[in-house]
Chains A and B, each alone.
Chain A
Amino acid sequence: MSNNDTFEDEPPNHRDLAPGEELIAEHEPAGGLWGYVLGFGLAILLTAASFVAAQTDLIYQPAVISALVVLAIAQMGVHLVFFLHITTGPDNTNNVLALAFGVLIVALVVLGSIWIMANLNENLGHMSLHDAEMLP
């Protein structure tokens, strides 16, 4: 390949952005090094919060799972914004749409599996191994 097709070969605001690409611009408060430092700090905070939530007695035990799921999703969001530089800008539309489709499939696979298997457990729960073998 020629040497002139990297990210500097055309004015970046003239085209779509690649995933993970960031333009270090003055008007970006969380751009460049500060973006990474801020993201790192937020990720550490959320990780610490997760470890505390899992081990403390302050949270009602059945609600711990909700706290962990929310904190995990929040931290994934921090990673996407500060490390992978996914934004809502028009130059990021393609990246966001691909991500949205991925999230849809992940949600279908995970929630669908849990839902269906919980249902099966519920319906077959009172059956002994012997009964299960008698099934057609």
Chain B
Amino acid sequence: MSAAAGDITARSTGRDPYRLGRGDGGHGVATGHGEGGPASPFVTVAYGFWIFLLSDIVMFSAFFAAYAVLVNATAGGPTGRELFDLTTVATQTGVLLTSTFTAGLAMLAAHRRAMLACQLWLLVTGVLGAAFLLLEIQEFVTMIGEGVGPTRSAFLSAFFALVGCHGTHVGLGLLWLGTMMAQLWVKGFRADIIRRLHCFSLFWHALDIIWVAIFSLVYLLGASS
């Protein structure tokens, strides 16, 4: 401990004190123990966004818990078995999974600083995300048109709240994606733009993780039981 402190004071002479521990201050290894001084903005921003994503997932878990508790409270109305169309769900799943893959390809292109490839993959991601959202809106409109809206039973209230909350996230993600494409186009691969782009890709991957839970535990389980 004292040796390390002595080490720092000895080496800090003639150096910018705010750069202490950056670079070689970590003694050449990633420690994971908070040694090596303050992390770079890229790490802190992404870590803060990671905390947000986890809290978002905790919020979704409350919707999942409500759905699991109310799944049999159909009030004499239709059950999931009668309502869910697995062909549409399979299409939605494929579309969203592919969009998360193309978002990853966009991040690889950003790493190479390849503007055209990055914009192209972001555009593909956005088109697939919009297709997903369209299918979901279509499903909701059809259901409400048949009189099985969120007011029909507690089961349907919980279903619309959970799936609608995910759909809202996808919609907001699409707005963010469009903003990022415009910012990237105008401002280029600047440090702050790259940070935002990275946060967007984290967000998009997290949305697909939540969709995995929804299609397995809501649609497939509802249609099979």
> Which residues of A are interface residues toward B (Cβ below 8 A)?
1-7, 9-11, 13-21, 24, 32-33, 36, 39-40, 43-44, 47, 50-51, 53-55, 61, 64-65, 68-69, 71-72, 75-76, 79-80, 83-84, 89-95, 98-99, 101-102, 105-106, 109-110, 112-114, 117
Contact = CB atoms under 8 A, between A and B. Distances in A.
Given A14-B23, A18-B198, A98-B50, A75 B212 contact: yes
Interface residues of B, number: 67
A44 B93 CA distance: 9
A33 B107 CA distance: 10
B96 to A, nearest CB: 10
A99 B39 contact: no
B108 A9 contact: no
Given A4-B191, A54-B221, A109 B62 contact: yes
A114 B101 contact: no
Contact of B54 (A64, A98, A110, A112): A98
Contact of A65 (B93, B194, B209, B221): B221
A106 B216 contact: no
B58 A15 contact: no
B217 interface: yes
Looking at chain A's contact residues, is the secondary structure mostly helix, strand, loop, or mixed?
Answer: helix
B58 A55 contact: no
Interface of B: 22-24, 26, 28-33, 36, 39-43, 45-47, 49-51, 54-55, 57-58, 61-62, 64-66, 68-69, 86, 90, 93-94, 97-98, 100-101, 104-105, 108, 111, 190-192, 194-195, 198, 201-202, 205-206, 208-209, 212-213, 215-217, 220-221, 223-225
Given A14-B36, A64-B224, 10 more contacts: A1-B41, A4-B191, A7-B42, A15-B39, A19-B47, A20-B50, A36-B104, A83-B100, A90-B30, A92-B32
Given A64-B224, A68-B221, A110-B61, A18 B47 contact: yes
Contact of A84 (B69, B111, B205): B205
Given A6-B42, A6-B191, A13-B30, A65 B225 contact: yes
19 contacts: A5-B41, A7-B42, A7-B194, A13-B30, A14-B23, A15-B22, A33-B105, A36-B105, A39-B104, A61-B225, A68-B220, A71-B216, A72-B216, A83-B104, A93-B33, A102-B58, A105-B58, A109-B61, A112-B65
A24 B104 CA distance: 13
B11 to A, nearest CB: 15
Given A15-B36, A50-B220, A106 B57 contact: yes
A14 B30 contact: yes
